Structure 1
Amino acid sequence: MERTSHTSAPGSSFPRRQLQVLLACRLVEPLAINSVIPYLFQMVRHVSSPDLSDGEATRLVTLIFSAYAMAQFSTNILWGRLSDRIGRRPVLLFGLAGVFVSTVALAFSSSVPLIFVSRIAAGLLCGNIVITRTMIGDMVHGRENKSRAFAWNQTVYQIGTVVGPFIGGFFVQPFSREIKASHSPRRNIATSYDKRAGLRHLAVYHALQVF
């Protein structure tokens, strides 16, 4: 008796184009979240009191990253349940919009509390880490195809975690030179930093959304 295989031949029924679009959406989140790593400490120092020590600034940065992680952890299951009710695509698009809005809000934050709010909002509004995996499971059939798709999903996420800090470092470097060259009072430097950072990051993430 002929034995039936439960695996699909490589390349059969593999939704390549749909998966490429989904992976592009998946890439946006790690890029946006990890791009803040190079400049967040500097940003906290410049929007805070001049008396803030490096140790206190480091503690605040740690709490900011923890706040994002806790916010995302607390809503992932809720986003999954909501996608079961209203569909995957609306939740995915809302998550992308949430990443964009919260990132722009961070760029224009003029105080530490506003930085906290923007990072917490980023965690609460984006459940795409769950939605993309669910959508892959829905659209890809066959054991081998699923393995390929989930491997690409994780690869794209890791690419975002590597490339994100490079993007942040590239855009923060001009600010460092301008601040060192400036002889203005600290408040004026902070204001200049916020405006320039906000405008440049706004342009970057507009481009990411179009992509």
Structure 2
Amino acid sequence: MRKERLDLYFLVDRSGSMEGTIIEMLNGILRNSMKVLANEVERFPNYELLIHCISFSDKVKWHIGPAPVPAKVLDWHDIQVAIGGTTATSKAINLLSDEFERRKRISRVPPICVLITDGPCTDSPEEYKLAISRLNNTFLGKTAIRLACWIGEKRDTDLKQLWAFSNQIHFLHINPGDFLINSKILFEAVLEAIKNSIEGNKLTVDRNTLIKEGARSLNHDVF
């Protein structure tokens, strides 16, 4: 029987500020998570988890894709930092929109998009706003489960951009210090998104409440 595809898109910052411990940690987390996530999806025998990855600095490229690779056979190749590169997040979102406009709808379940960055977009605010608007105007972008993950110190002014990207699941904040804790945070969040995609559930937590109360998700700070 043909399996339904479940597409998981990572948008990963490889700007100069990611150099060293941060990118090493992130590559390790992603490398270790792929087959574990694939095994979890096997509990839903009618679905196959497919991985795409866009990496970005001032230039944007497909790290995996645009043709996806099944998670169960994926051999993760480390993302390399662009020394001195800036953070062109809007260009990465536009590349994702290119893919969504091309694909239209070819699956019964919404895709999952995970944006991972350690800094604000260095494109103009107008470029970022237009990129988000374009993503929201695609069918797959509008229906996707979109998760934003911030690595590093909490800066509320920068977080507003990530709130614009994320929609149906909690915003994540991780510190670049503890590999095991950060692996658990990101893995559990993506796994929750996978289950929500397959089961048709949407998280409807009011974001203003999360901000005011400092609420916790998956036993860790949402900021």
Structure 1 length-normalised TM: 0.28
Larger radius of gyration: 1
Which has a greater percent of strand? 2
Structure 2 length-normalised TM: 0.27
Structure with the larger RCO, 1 or 2 (CA within 8 Å, 6+ apart): 1
